[in-house]
Homo-oligomer: A and B are copies of this chain.
Amino acid sequence: MHEVVIAGVGQTAVGEKWEISLRELAFYALEAARVDAGGLRPQALYLANSLAPALSHQSHLATLVADFSGLNGIEAASIEGAGASGGLALRQAYLAVASGLVDIAMAIGVEKMSDQTVSGVHEAEATTTDSDYEAEQGLTPTSQAALLMQRYIYEFDVPEFAFGGFPVIAHENGVHNKNAMFQKAIRPELYQRVGKVSDPMNMFDIAPAADGAAAVILTRPELLPGEFLHPLVRISGSSVVTDTLALHDRPKPLEFNAVRVSVERACRQAGRLPSDMDMFEVFDAFSIYAAMTLEAAGFAEYGMGWAFAQNGKLSLDGELPISTFGGLKARGNPSGATGVYQAVEAVLQLRGNAGENQVQGAELAMIQSLGGPASTVATHVIEIVH
């Protein structure tokens, strides 16, 4: 297999983009990544999207985006795995370039959620659960996370407001990210005051549905000029692992088993340990997911992930910085695009271009996106090329 590097990254601001269409959103990210990569033209485009067939009545989206973006003729395929779609598209782009059959590939994620009513979004999101057995009973991804959090609180007997550390860190990191949906810090007192949305989760435990697009361009380093525009970032570990789609099929629902296995595999391929990581873009769609992910990945004991978010241990200057540009919670969660946003943000960190959000000395990062309650897990380890 060939070595694969990320040569360009691009993103749009995240939020409610009423004035921008689905295809335009994708185009802005695609073009930004091409400019960042000195004009490289991808031969293949892997487009991550989770909900456009339902929300925008548009499938066959990869071909549409290639066409609309002036890349008529190139290879294109849409890739889907709910919230992990972005990570899956990155994986496909990686495999394509690693095979030597594709020289330059783009992974792009786009989601446009504001064109629909809130109930329309929930209905669409419910299709990502086991529809015949879960959505059928009224379950949505949000209520699924609430059930997990309730069970967690019961099993591990955690203190009230235990999960508040996650949204506090995310919003702190969102303050200086001009692409974030929310650029305002919150205090622990506010977290404790707001009402429940899906008991026991409150508003701050749930990342907001949003519009956005992000893109990365992958290639083999030997195809680039010796003096490139910016430092290159190598993909040194890549892994996709699945678990049961339905939560009720898990013997131990409080253990994100696919997170554990996927982290192990990505780290083994990279020749690194999770503890080597300078930062971790974690999938904090719900506070409970962030806690359970840190546990399954080996950063905390089961039942203690929430405590790891206390006392600045996960802040930019802490032991393991997470959600460094605000995470899903403050940057916003444009579902299928989120995994690609994580890649863009981690690349900016490793290049040393993260501005006020810079993790000092970051050379090695892990990024991970989840489809459902870790039913699909895509993990990548990336590192700066010296």
| A residues lining the B interface (CB < 8 Å) | 1, 21, 23, 44, 50-51, 53-54, 56-60, 62-64, 66-67, 72-82, 88, 91-92, 95-96, 98-102, 124, 126-132, 135, 238-246, 249, 258, 261, 371-372, 375-376
A242 touches which of B51, B76, B372 (Cβ 8 Å): B76
Structural contact, B77 and A81, CB atoms closer than 8 A: yes
Structural contact, B64 and A130, CB atoms closer than 8 A: yes
A251 to B263 alpha-carbon distance, docked (Å)? 49
A98 to B244 alpha-carbon distance, docked (Å)? 28
Structural contact, B135 and A57, CB atoms closer than 8 A: yes
Shortest A193–chain B CB gap in Å is 35
**Contact partners of A76 in chain B: CB under 8 A:** 81, 240, 242, 376
Q: Closest chain B residue to A261 by CB distance?
A: B73
**Contact partners of A58 in chain B: CB under 8 A:** 127, 131-132
A77 touches which of B59, B79, B375 (Cβ 8 Å): B79
A1 to B150 alpha-carbon distance, docked (Å)? 49
A75 to B131 alpha-carbon distance, docked (Å)? 21
Structural contact, B78 and A80, CB atoms closer than 8 A: yes
A88 to B60 alpha-carbon distance, docked (Å)? 12
**Contact partners of A129 in chain B: CB under 8 A:** 60
Shortest A104–chain B CB gap in Å is 14
User: With A53-B54, A77-B88, A79-B77 known to touch, is A245 a contact of B1 (CB < 8 Å)?
Assistant: no
**Contact partners of A131 in chain B: CB under 8 A:** 56-58
Structural contact, B60 and A372, CB atoms closer than 8 A: yes
Shortest A125–chain B CB gap in Å is 9
Shortest A267–chain B CB gap in Å is 15
Structural contact, A67 and B1, CB atoms closer than 8 A: no
User: With A100-B1, A261-B73 known to touch, is A80 a contact of B59 (CB < 8 Å)?
Assistant: yes
A81 touches which of B44, B63, B81, B376 (Cβ 8 Å): B63
Structural contact, A67 and B102, CB atoms closer than 8 A: no
A242 to B42 alpha-carbon distance, docked (Å)? 13
Nearest 7 pairs of A and B residues by beta carbon: A99-B99, A75-B240, A98-B99, A78-B80, A58-B131, A60-B128, A60-B82
A67 to B81 alpha-carbon distance, docked (Å)? 13
Q: Other than the known A1-B101, A73-B261, what 9 A-B pairs have Cβ atoms closer than 8 Å? A: A51-B59, A53-B53, A53-B54, A60-B371, A64-B245, A72-B244, A77-B88, A77-B240, A77-B376
Q: Closest chain B residue to A336 by CB distance?
A: B59
Structural contact, A60 and B1, CB atoms closer than 8 A: no
A98 touches which of B60, B79, B101, B243 (Cβ 8 Å): B101
**Contact partners of A124 in chain B: CB under 8 A:** 53
User: With A92-B92, A242-B76 known to touch, is A54 a contact of B56 (CB < 8 Å)?
Assistant: no
Q: Closest chain B residue to A58 by CB distance?
A: B131
Structural contact, B80 and A77, CB atoms closer than 8 A: yes
Shortest A152–chain B CB gap in Å is 22
User: With A50-B59, A60-B371, A99-B1 known to touch, is A243 a contact of B73 (CB < 8 Å)?
Assistant: yes
Structural contact, A78 and B75, CB atoms closer than 8 A: no
